[in-house]
Amino acid sequence: MPYATPTRSPLMTVSGSTLVHAPVPRPSHRSAPARRPGPYRRLFAVPGARAFTAGNLLARLPMGMFGISAVMMIAGQRGSYALAGAVTATGMAATALVAPWTARLVDRHGQARIAVPATLIAVLGSLALVLSVRAHAPAWTLFASYAATATTPNIGGMSRARWTHLLRERPAEHHAAMSFEQAADELCYMLGPVVAAFLCSAVFPEAGTLTGAALLLTGMLLFTSRRATEPPVSALRPPGSALRAVAPLLPLFLALGTMFGALEVTSIAHLGALGLGAVSGPVLALQALGSCVAGLRYGAVRPRSLTACLPALVAAMTLPWAAATTGSLPLLATALLLAGVATAPTMVTAMSRVQAVTPPGRLNEGMTVAVTAILGGIALGSAAAGRLIDQLGTPAAYALPPAAALLAFFISAHRRRSR
């Protein structure tokens, strides 16, 4: 039989006396490019960011709890909403005076060194308030105790200062961080009153204040323990004045605070007039929900200027005014949700202006001064709305929020032309 030459298989070849497998040819194709992580995934990949954010959120939630907890506790035990409102108003006024000084000390000496003792004083004030209410102490003890809580540090400002330090050379991530912080503000101010009302009504009247104090202290200790992410403190006093730098922006924040205060009071009164006072909390929470979602979305897109954000805010604030004339609850709820959607981009952009003008090393003080102006505007808007409601009714009072937003637009446009 003749010798047959072996057929060479595509899977093997002969090298000397060794049979070797040949590589299998594969069709060439271009691999899909790796998808870039989203802005918030990149944000929380920063070392230490998750830990200090967890503490920040724990300490920030009580900011929406203390006011309503004090009102429900004092009114429930003393039977006077007038006394409860006067005590909380005194606390707000004390905060407006004390908070900037606390923030200045934080910037000068460091977050952990100042924030922890300041928080302890505030917590002791809350405990003193509970004991004064329970012991039926004189009314002045309620005012003094609640005024002591004014030393509570501005946890939102300290958190923004950390992000600014960590992301000083990454503007895109810094924009996402500021948007996240605004969303966190809205989330805590949305959940805080709900949690407080549940604790005070379902557990016992003091439960809201005690829980808020525990969360504040626990969150602040966790936040300040993350020393690696804390902004460094210069041995020299930072040059410049935060108040002087931020002062041109304060009318803008005062107008925005007026808008917030007027919208809240008018909505509560309007729903009460319709016999729907029981759902005022959830309906108002829709505004915060819209702002929270919009804040997170805004962090993933290109930032806008105030002259672009404020006209949208003016238009959105007219929606509750229009819905109030119909007497429809679904329309009002939808209008408040859309009004909240326009709020977050404006606040993120406005706070970015504060960061841009504040001298280095004084960011927490600059942020706190801006927040103080917002609180003053809220008090002004609440009072103005209450007067309008008594004289002209809630539909007329709903004209105040868009008017305040329009004033904020004119202030911003004038400042832009001046620059």
Q: From the first residue on, what is the mean pLDDT of each consecutive set of 10 residues in the chain (419 residues)?
A: 44 44 52 62 85 91 84 81 79 85 88 93 94 90 92 89 86 85 82 81 87 94 90 64 85 93 85 79 83 85 82 94 90 93 90 84 85 85 84 89 95 81
Phi, psi of 362 (to 5 degrees): -125, 25
Tokens at 87, concatenated: 């005590």
Tokens at 31, concatenated: 């691999």
DSSP for 305-319 reads -HHHHHHHHHHHHHH
Compute the distance between CA of residue 115 and CA of residue 157 in angstroms, rounded to an integer. Answer: 12
DSSP for 155-190 reads HHHHHHHHHHHHTTT-HHHHHHHHHHHHHHHHHHHH
Beta bridge partners of 20: 13
Q: What is the pLDDT of residue 204?
A: 87
Query: 118 in helix, strand or coil?
Result: helix
Tokens at 296, concatenated: 């997170």
Compute the distance between CA of residue 412 and CA of residue 398 in angstroms, rounded to an integer. Answer: 23
Q: Which helix (H) or strand (E) holds 19?
A: strand 18-21
Compute the distance between CA of residue 161 and CA of residue 156 in angstroms, rounded to an integer. Answer: 9
Q: Which of 59, 104, 152 has the alpha carbon at shortest distance from 375? A: 152
Contact 411, 247 (CB under 8 A): no
Q: What is the pLDDT of residue 210?
A: 94
* Per-residue burial over 192-221, b = 16 or more CB atoms within 10 Å of its CB, e = otherwise: bbebbbebbeeeebbbbbbbbbebbbebbb
Helices 306-324 + 250-273 axis angle, to 10: 20
Written as one letter, the residue type at 78 is R
Plot region of 223 (φ>0 → left; ψ -120 to 50 → alpha; else → beta) = alpha
Compute the distance between CA of residue 92 and CA of residue 187 in angstroms, rounded to an integer. Answer: 21
Compute the distance between CA of residue 277 and CA of residue 271 in angstroms, rounded to an integer. Answer: 5
Q: What is the pLDDT of residue 194?
A: 76
Q: What is the pLDDT of residue 419?
A: 66
Q: Residues near 118 by Cβ (< 8 Å), separated by ≥ 6? A: 102, 105, 151, 152, 153
Question: For the chain, which domains are there?
Answer: 48-233 (1.20.1250.20), 238-419 (1.20.1250.20)
Q: What is the pLDDT of residue 71?
A: 80
Whole-prediction pTM value? 0.77
Q: What is the pLDDT of residue 5?
A: 44
Length of the chain: 419
Q: What is the pLDDT of residue 234?
A: 63
Contact 393, 284 (CB under 8 A): no
Which of the 8 DSSP states describes residue 150? G
Beta bridge partners of 272: none
